Amino acid sequence: MKTKKAIDVIELFRNVLGDKINDFALPPPIFEIMQCEIIEYKEEEKLLIVRLPVLEKWQNPFGTMQGGMIDAAIDNAVGPLSLLVAPVNMTRTIETKILKAITMDVETIYVKAKLVEAKKRRLTFEAEVVDVEGLVYATSTIVNYIVRGEDKQ
């Protein structure tokens, strides 16, 4: 994963959304603030991988990445994926299990997000937070709901 080049976010979304891209703030400000990069999108698998640095300003008092920032990293992968695979939707729940602390020695993390189920208006995603070697630091289940009245992209 380390050597993968970032995908142009605007080009990716323009290919999927066409002119509807103008209805959204892409890339979202938080995506840029956290220095996220999409490095892989597999349309058939409904899978997206985002790379981002682990920054000191995200530390908790113990010197590890704060849990809320881990969830924000996860949301920065699931959010774009959800827009690519479904009509407009919003996050309802994020349930994250931290398996290992992300120390400042971990320079870069990758969030692998995948749509695992779509039932009516409910979308269920699973995500993993890993390092360059593939060591899993956190797993998450995210449930989104499609906003009523929205047409499929």
Of the chain, the end-to-end C-alpha distance in Å amounts to: 29
What average pLDDT does this structure show over 61-73?
Answer: 97
CATH class of the domain whose range is 9-146: alpha beta
What pTM was computed for the model? 0.93
What is the spatial distance between Cα 47 and Cα 56, in angstroms, rounded to a whole number?
Answer: 29
* 9-17 and 67-85 helices, crossing angle to 10°: 40
Pairing mode of beta strands 47-53, 89-98:
unpaired
Per the rule left: phi > 0, alpha: psi between -120 and 50, beta: everything else, 35 is left
| 58-64-68 Cα angle (round to 5) | 50
What is the spatial distance between Cα 148 and Cα 17, in angstroms, rounded to a whole number?
Answer: 19
pLDDT digits (tens, 9 = 90+) for 86-120: 999 999 999 999 999 999 999 999 999 999 999 99
| 65-33-125 Cα angle (round to 5) | 65
pLDDT digits (tens, 9 = 90+) for 4-26: 899 999 999 999 999 989 999 99
How confident is the prediction for the chain on average, in pLDDT?
A: 94
What pLDDT sits at residue 148?
74
Report residue 153's pLDDT band, with 50, 70 and 90 as the boundaries.
Answer: very low
The domain locations on the chain are 9-146
What is the spatial distance between Cα 58 and Cα 69, in angstroms, rounded to a whole number?
Answer: 7
